[in-house]
Amino acid sequence: MDAELDRLKRLRMLELQRRMLQDENAEKEPEKSKDPSPREILETMFSGRAWEVYETAKVQYSTVMPQIEQTLVEGIKSGKIKDSIDGESLFVFLRRLGLNVRLNTKIRYKEHGELKTIGQRIQET
């Protein structure tokens, strides 16, 4: 009887230790989420093709884009930027700053239910 009582006490102690560890881990997780990364903040505001424009600009202007990223994040945090940022508005914003971002553009049109480029159309005629 004593051996079984000791075993039950040990099981109970292990269960309590496990719960305490879970509580400690649960307390640490909110601390991490309090300070989101700049990318996470931008994800909340970017829509449409904004990421495509942003990544292209980051490749072409690698020295300036971290400063622009920080400025955008500060504007979002302070509430100065309230609306979502789509690709066109980000493109215009960067152009006004003097960054001529060159995007990979393709002109395609639909003919008889299939998309064709201008090159394909010229080859057919």
User: pLDDT per residue over 88-107, tens digit each?
Assistant: 999 999 999 999 999 988 88
Using alpha carbons, list the distances in angstroms from residue 36 to 32, 33, 82, 92, 114: 8, 6, 18, 27, 43
| Cβ atoms < 10 Å from Cβ of 64 | 15
pLDDT at 34 over 90: no
pTM of the model: 0.62
Together in a domain, 61 and 84 = yes
Together in a domain, 61 and 21 = no
**Quick one: average pLDDT of 6-29?**
84
Residue with the bigger pLDDT between 26 and 42: it is 42
Strands 114-117 and 108-111: antiparallel
Listed ranges 13-17, 70-74, 106-110; the one with the highest mean pLDDT: 70-74
Together in a domain, 52 and 100 = yes
Full residue range of the structural domain in which residue 26 is found: 1-35
Together in a domain, 64 and 12 = no
Together in a domain, 13 and 48 = no
Together in a domain, 69 and 15 = no
Together in a domain, 44 and 92 = yes
**Mean pLDDT for the chain overall:** 88
Q: What local confidence, expressed as pLDDT, does residue 60 receive?
A: 96
Q: What local confidence, expressed as pLDDT, does residue 31 receive?
A: 56
Domain tally, the chain: 2
Together in a domain, 29 and 61 = no
